[in-house]
Chains A and B, each alone.
Chain A
Amino acid sequence: MEMLETKQENGIVFLKLSGRLDLAGVGQVEAAFKSQTNDAQKGLVIDAAELSFLASLGMRMLMMGAKAMKAKGGKIVIVNPQEEVENALRMSGLDQVIPIVESEAAAISELG
């Protein structure tokens, strides 16, 4: 599991998640992800194109991040997830608090 910060612009942090966000994956990236949610003022945009699996603990990590962002008026937006990851996000209802979009431009627009 890998997490890369690709850039920061106008209070938005752009991340790329690759691999499996399961028990082991969460263990590898959770602390860094939490730190990124602290840094992001307006929003966190996650490129999920290379995220191959999202387990419930991964959803918990995203949920905690979404709550932290909401507390300061921001959001997490997920860009371009693979089909099964998108299914998992929709099945869990997480898409109600973490919008799923198809492009970085749409994510920026989502964050206003």
Chain B
Amino acid sequence: MADSVAVASSRRVRVLLVDDQEMIGQAVRKMLEADENIDFCYCQDPSKAISTANEFEPTVILQDLVMPEIDGMMLVKFYRANPKTKDIPLIVLSSKEEAQTKAQAFALGANDYIVKLPDELELLARIRYHSRGYISMLERNEAYELMAAELREAEEYVRELLPEPVAEGEITADWRFIPSSGLGGDAFGYHDIDDRYFALYLLDVCGHGVGAALLSISAMNVVRSGALPGVDFKNPSEVLEGLNDAFPMERQSGKFFSIWYGVYDRQTRKLVFSSGGHPPSILYNGLSGMSELKTPGLFIGCMEGMIYQQQSVVLEEGAVLYLFSDGIFELTSPDNVQLPFCDFTASLGRDSDLDEVVGQAREYQGAQEFEDDYSLVRLVFK
């Protein structure tokens, strides 16, 4: 068993014994000596138990219950309250086989209970058993932290691709992007195709994680650089058809994405747009109130040879356009009620403050973190 721990992990079994009786310390040391994979630390002074544990970093603690000056049960509580020892398995050593004492020890957070002095075989078996579980937990935590670090790196990369807000000029733009903890695969942008045409787009890859982010980055780079052979990037439906051909889900680990892509003509003030599997964009245009801009197209990459439609609208002076992903309105309240889409659009006014919109979403779901990426872009055409 000890070998299996040593082989499966680079971590060693580390035992801390806290007991005021030196004789017990010597006896346990002798029992553990035979196993070269075990490091042993003996703490005779219970007042130094926590500091010794913090320094030694045991994989299991053997804690005596009856000691002068300090109650062993109290120490059990302290271990559980101390961040560095709160998860370390704790075996309580007692001279008595009492159900009530055992129950109290377990209630305070002990993991095991042994009447001392136990048989050497039994003690070693329990030490290895508890250490193995603790070492596995540490390794799981490390793997999780590594994965989280990779997600943060991917998130940073996505952020670097996003355009700067534009505060001055004929077209102003502002946005909020709040990635979900698992990174949801949203990306968006806007740029001048030339002096006359301005492109604006938002895409959302299905699923979460680095895989979704990789596809969103690839698709985003293609749109930003206009790198689809034979595709006129001033023609939204052609762009969607080109993307659909370039990113079939069979070659993207079964992933596909939705997109809203529009092109604004500064000369005619005409916005031409096309969407594939994406929520409508919301437009406030002149006195006509709010309208939803979308075309009936399937997700990008789902079916080869899809034909995408496009529509157009002439933007009046001061028109406001919101682009967003479904993460902004697919919200569930704490009492498990889904936010209706019409309630969301009704809350998005012509002059809404973006931070207030984010705040309303957080308030609705009763949580700060979003389950999916939160992307909201607001463009004003002066």
Q: Which residues of A contact B (CB under 8 A)?
A: 22-23, 52-53, 55-57, 59-60, 63-64, 67, 83-84, 87-88, 90-94, 96-97
Contact = CB atoms under 8 A, between A and B. Distances in A.
Interface residues of B, number: 28
A95 to B, nearest CB: 8
A93 B208 contact: no
A110 B256 CA distance: 27
Given A56-B206, A57-B207, A92 B258 contact: yes
Contact of A64 (B254, B277, B296, B372): B254
A63 B302 CA distance: 8
A52 B303 contact: no
A59 B205 CA distance: 12
Contact of A93 (B204, B277, B330, B372): B277
A1 to B, nearest CB: 13
13 contacts: A23-B208, A55-B330, A56-B204, A60-B207, A60-B254, A60-B256, A63-B299, A67-B302, A87-B341, A91-B279, A91-B326, A93-B296, A94-B299
Contacts of A90: 296
A73 to B, nearest CB: 15
A94 B276 CA distance: 10
Contact of A56 (B207, B280, B298, B303): B207
Contact of A97 (B208, B280, B303, B372): B303
A94 B298 CA distance: 6
B207 A93 contact: no
A84 B279 contact: no
A59 B341 contact: no
The residue in B277, B278, B279, B372 that gathers the most chain A C-beta atoms within 10 A of its C-beta is B277
A56 B256 CA distance: 10
B297 interface: yes
A94 B297 CA distance: 8
B291 interface: no
